[in-house]
Structure 1
Amino acid sequence: MLKIRLQGTTNELKWFRKILEKNSNFEILSISEPYPNKGTNKYFRVYVDVERIRH
């Protein structure tokens, strides 16, 4: 299992989440809600757990 931290604007995070959900090489186990980064209202972070699917 991989634990991934994504960081960006809310629009960037939504865009990349769609890419992750369409990929059939791994399964998304969990995606956290966006957390605001300290010192900015523009950037957020999301934590994603993924598992590799073996074909």
Structure 2
Amino acid sequence: MLKIRLQGTLRDIRWFKGILQRHEEVNVQEVSEPFANKGTNKYFRVYAEVEKEEK
């Protein structure tokens, strides 16, 4: 399992989360709710747990 931190705007995070979820070789186990980065209201972070899809 990989634990990945995604950081960016909410729009960019949603875009990349969609790519991960549609990818045939990746099984997305969990994605956290967005956390605001300190000192900005533009950038957020989420944490994702992913595994290699068994074929």
Describe the SS at the equivalent of 1:41. Answer: coil
Q: Provide the residue aligned with 1:33 in structure 2.
A: 33
Name stretches of at least 5 consecutive residues in structure 1 with no aligned partner.
none
Percent of matched pairs sharing the same residue:
53
**Could you tell me the TM-score, scaled by structure 2's length?**
0.94
Partner Cα separation in structure 1 for residue 33 and residue 3 of structure 2: 15
Shift of 1:10: 0.4
Question: What root-mean-square deviation, in Å, do the aligned CA atoms of Structure 1 and Structure 2 show?
Answer: 0.7
Partner Cα separation in structure 2 for residue 9 and residue 38 of structure 1: 13
Q: Provide the residue aligned with 1:5 in structure 2.
A: 5
**Could you tell me the TM-score, scaled by structure 1's length?**
0.94
Name stretches of at least 5 consecutive residues in structure 2 with no aligned partner.
none
Task: Detail structure 1 runs of 4+ shifted over 3 Å in the superposition.
Answer: none
Q: How many residues are treated as equivalent by the alignment?
A: 55
Describe the SS at the equivalent of 2:17. Answer: helix
Q: Provide the residue aligned with 1:45 in structure 2.
A: 45
Shift of 1:19: 0.5
Over residues 5-43 of structure 1, what are the superposed CA-to-partner deviations in whole Å (9 max), with x where a residue is unaligned?
Answer: 000000000111110111010100000000000000000
Q: Provide the residue aligned with 1:18 in structure 2.
A: 18
